[in-house]
Chain A
Amino acid sequence: MKNLISAAHLSADEIRFLLATARAFAPIIKEGGSIPLLKGQTIVNLFFENSTRTRTSFELAIRKLEGGTLNFAAVASSIQKGETLIDTAKNIEAMRPHCLVVRHSSAGSPAVLAHSVKIPIINAGDGFHEHPTQGLLDAFTIEEKLGTLEGKRIVILGDIAHSRVARSNIHILKKMGASVAVCGPPTLLPPHPEVLGVDYAYRLEDLLPTADVVMALRIQMERQNRMQIPSVAEYARVWGLNRERAQLLKKNAIILHPGPINRGVEIDPDVADGPRSVILDQVFNGVLIRMAVLSHICNPVGLAHWIEKIGHHA
């Protein structure tokens, strides 16, 4: 695997390998240790869009692999500074880092960069397109809590049309044998939701009783548009995951959220902090998954030796 641009292009075997690698890293990282698979390498976090969480998670993953990391916050619109997107990436590549982790508000930018630079590119989220490491960490968390993804019912709730998290999750969960349904206001689902290749419903109550997992997505208030939903309050009333609705869930169902959460909008505080919530586990698992992706892309031989040495990987 040279780059990680989209979950759509990951095979089920690649997904299983990455999840297993993250699982193998877990005990060492939990004890505060590190694994020197990126020793001598410098990874640049090239972020054209602000994101403290994802950037911090990648940064931590790089440090836990004993690599060097550098953050490069670029202006979102390259037009504004007269330099093209490709110019920016080539400039950074000329400083000889080993890999670029790219976040961009425009879909396709990491794919375009992967064509124009020689070093590997890891997509840390591009527009509405994909956020593959988020999809992987969500799959990891579900497998960790429920034992398997096979046959599980996952409901993704919220602004599906404008969510890279939903897209990456759908690709990964389906490949791992889960059944996926999406739910949200019709204005926030793709115009023909069947193109997603998953089930859908406009009302959450129709989906909750059979769900093993509910993944609530952040309603982006900053991008909110009153032509799409009348108000955040109305969204919370009709689609919010509140205590009454959570009671419709099966006994062992869990609740995920990619963060940051809007308390009282897509999820009630009680529910977010309740026993079903695995939101903080997702955050920890994000570091493991990013370690798995980084080491697999930047040092596949070293990773293979490490796996051989610890003698198990499943």
Chain B
Amino acid sequence: MPKLLHADSILIQGGHIIDPSQNYFGLGDLLIEDGKIIGLEAPGQIPASRARQVISAHEAWVLPGLLDIHVHLREPGLEYKETIESGTRAAVAGGFTTVACMANTQPVNDNSYVTAFIREKAKATAACRVFPIGAVSKGLKGEELAEIGGMVAEGAKAISDDGMPVMNSYLMRKAMDYAKAFGIPIISHAEDWNLVGQGVMNESALSNELGLRGNPAAAEEIMVAREIALCRLTRAPIHIAHISTEVALEHLRRAKEAGLPVTAEASPHHLTLTEENLREYQTNFKMAPPLRSERDVEALQKAVAEGLVGIIATDHAPHGLVDKAVEFDQAANGIIGLQTAVPLTLSLVHRGILSPLRWVESLTSNPARLLKLPYGTLRVGSDADVTLIRPNQEWTLTEDHLLSKSRNSPFLGWKFKGAIMNTLIGGKIVYGEGLN
């Protein structure tokens, strides 16, 4: 009896498959049925007649759907900057199939009700998978533990007071101890707030010349060293968000050599831009941690290349004109990043700094492992989250491309090499060619 052609079947044919989770690196065909990957074979092994739809991926790279574990979706409360809907539309346009959103909404995601709201809103409106990150402390105030158990029960995959470093070392220690009961990592925005003071850019000869208050690299390095000390004390997993200085990376290296459960992520902007970009006082170059020196950027690129920093995450931080078109001192920190992460970091591959495998694992299997998510793989039996990339396609970023509600990108007008061809989630094409 002839097998019936499955209604929801897609064959991705002739692409260059890069899947670090199973060490697959080469040409191959991928068969998807009912939202799952059911076949990954050498080219030509799966007949085109097996699928209702065939995507020709010649010259394209076929990757597990990308994960971004550090985004700000701003909902609830700051919908003028972003919503779960708009942020996730930007995500899939940027090749991401899963995002984890930070807790600094209004109200703060520091209890199960807000976590549940985010999950429900995502179910109704999101273009990709969304996992909330709960707060470490109530109201991000750094005073009392948030209801971590309740948030985890509603689907939180990590906790973080991102943007508001937990200054009280006792509280941080207790949070790390407490989180062990739930098997989730703590993500640290590692900056010593007192030492940052009113600093608005990297402290350097340039900050002196520009007359902007400096935020010294030491503010980050002290906090990274503290998190490592607390990790040694508690043995609880700690993840350093957007690590950015050469010395902080040295702390990380020693901690990893000592076998501590410490991980870190690098942002595309810290891998690309230096403080020199601040000369015109453009607020789209203002971030926390601040853009650093050339030397720090090179050290960070090397750390990602070596796998010392195993994750690339955008810190997608949408802000409106009222937050950014203001005096440098008063402007909000951060930039949108979901639609520029792939071309910015792919350029490190094009320049030979990063191997394709390392690049892909930092956007797929490594972040999936940190949050214990069953994604970031093309293994047979997995949900069919797939990102197709045209690595050599050239394009220029304009405001028309941006699907975020905000426009705060310093990369407008940049020429890129590498574009998203298709994004598939659970076997459905959610972005790109062939989408109707």
Contact = CB atoms under 8 A, between A and B. Distances in A.
Interface in A138-170: 161, 164, 167
Contacts of B325: 84-87
A32 B208 CA distance: 41
Interface in A162-209: 164, 167, 190-192, 195-196
Interface stretch (B92-100, B326-334, B337-345): B326-334
B210 A129 contact: yes
B292 to A, nearest CB: 16
Contacts of A77: 327, 330
Contacts of B329: 105-107, 127
Interface stretch (B136-144, B211-219, B370-378, B427-435): B211-219
A221 interface: no
A77 to B, nearest CB: 6
Interface in A63-120: 77-79, 82, 84-87, 104-109, 111-112, 115
A35 to B, nearest CB: 33
A307 interface: no
Nearest to B321: A84
A111 B280 contact: yes
B203 interface: yes
Nearest to B205: A195
A196 B327 contact: no
Nearest to A115: B280
A109 B210 CA distance: 11
A235 interface: no
Contacts of A115: 280
A86 B322 CA distance: 10
B209 interface: yes
Contacts of B113: none
A82 B322 contact: yes
Interface in B214-265: 214, 216
A104 B281 contact: no
Contacts of A17: none
Contacts of A126: 211
Interface string B300-339: 0000000000000000000001100111111000000000
Contacts of B214: 191
A284 interface: no
A127 B326 contact: no
Contacts of B205: 192, 195
B280 A129 contact: no
A248 interface: no
A87 B216 CA distance: 32
Contacts of B322: 79, 82, 84
Interface string A2-26: 0000001000000000000000000
Contacts of A84: 321-322, 325-326
Contact of B281 (A105, A107, A128, A191): A107
Contacts of A191: 203, 214, 216
A104 B281 CA distance: 14
A78 B208 contact: no
Contacts of A85: 325-327
Contacts of B212: 107-108, 127-129
A164 B209 CA distance: 10
B260 to A, nearest CB: 31
Most buried by A among B282, B321, B328: B328
Contact of B327 (A8, A104, A128, A161): A104
B328 A128 contact: no
A129 to B, nearest CB: 3
Interface string B140-180: 00000000000000000000000000000000000000000
A212 interface: no
A244 to B, nearest CB: 32
Nearest to A131: B211
B211 A109 contact: no
Contacts of B330: 77-79, 106
Contacts of A130: 211
B211 A107 contact: yes
B207 to A, nearest CB: 9
A178 to B, nearest CB: 19
A164 B49 CA distance: 74
A195 B208 contact: yes
B211 A127 contact: yes
A108 B281 contact: yes
B291 to A, nearest CB: 15
Nearest to B214: A191
Contacts of B211: 107-108, 126-130, 164, 167
Contacts of A164: 211
Nearest to B208: A190
Most buried by A among B204, B210, B212, B325: B210
A225 B322 CA distance: 30
A108 B327 CA distance: 8
Given A77-B327, A78-B327, 8 more contacts: A85-B326, A104-B327, A105-B327, A107-B211, A129-B211, A164-B211, A192-B205, A196-B208
30 contacts: A77-B330, A78-B330, A82-B322, A84-B321, A84-B326, A85-B325, A104-B327, A106-B327, A106-B328, A107-B211, A107-B212, A107-B328, A108-B211, A108-B280, A108-B281, A108-B328, A109-B281, A109-B327, A109-B328, A111-B281, A112-B281, A112-B327, A112-B328, A115-B280, A129-B210, A129-B211, A129-B212, A167-B211, A192-B205, A196-B208
Q: What are the nearest 3 A-B pairs in CB distance?
A: A129-B211, A108-B281, A106-B327
Interface of A: 8, 77-79, 82, 84-87, 104-109, 111-112, 115, 126-130, 161, 164, 167, 190-192, 195-196
